[in-house]
Copies of this chain bind each other. A is one copy, B any other.
Amino acid sequence: MDAAVVTADIPVRFAETDLMGVVHHSAYIVWFEVGRVAWMEAVGVPYAEISQMDRHLAVTGMNVSFRAAATFGDTVRIFTRLTQLRSRQISFSYEICNLATGALLVTGASDHICVDVDGRTARLPQSILERLQHGASILADDRAF
């Protein structure tokens, strides 16, 4: 599954900066989410479809390493990679680079569990799980060439 990487490009928003003159660290957390939403779209299981089935992928853990700052005027590229997929759990890793220079800015990882509308742990619907697995394997194959 190693090759199953999906990219998304995001122009930095002025609102995402802070008085240090660079992007506030919380923005990268939101961009990780944009990255995994793009990943799910790319494998053919839009996240909106899961949330419409009253399931959510709640974040249970996250770690982030900040190496360099993005700034207003930059576009960043997010590489999102599936690292684990089980019936109740899914994990991703992320790299965020400056699109123009390729410089690595931020890396991170997030763990999620599937929950129902009441916030209780639940299995991913079987059809969703199968489509995620199938999509991920096709994506991995595509990227192998």
Contacts and interface: CB of A to CB of B under 8 A. Distances in A.
Interface of A: 11, 13-15, 17-22, 24-26, 29-30, 33-34, 37, 46-48, 51, 56, 58-67, 69, 71-73, 115, 117, 119
A61 B137 CA distance: 32
How many copies of this chain does one complex carry? 4
B18 A14 contact: yes
Nearest to A38: B11
Contacts of A11: 34, 37
A61 B56 CA distance: 27
Contacts of A51: 19-20, 72
Contact of A66 (B34, B59, B72): B59
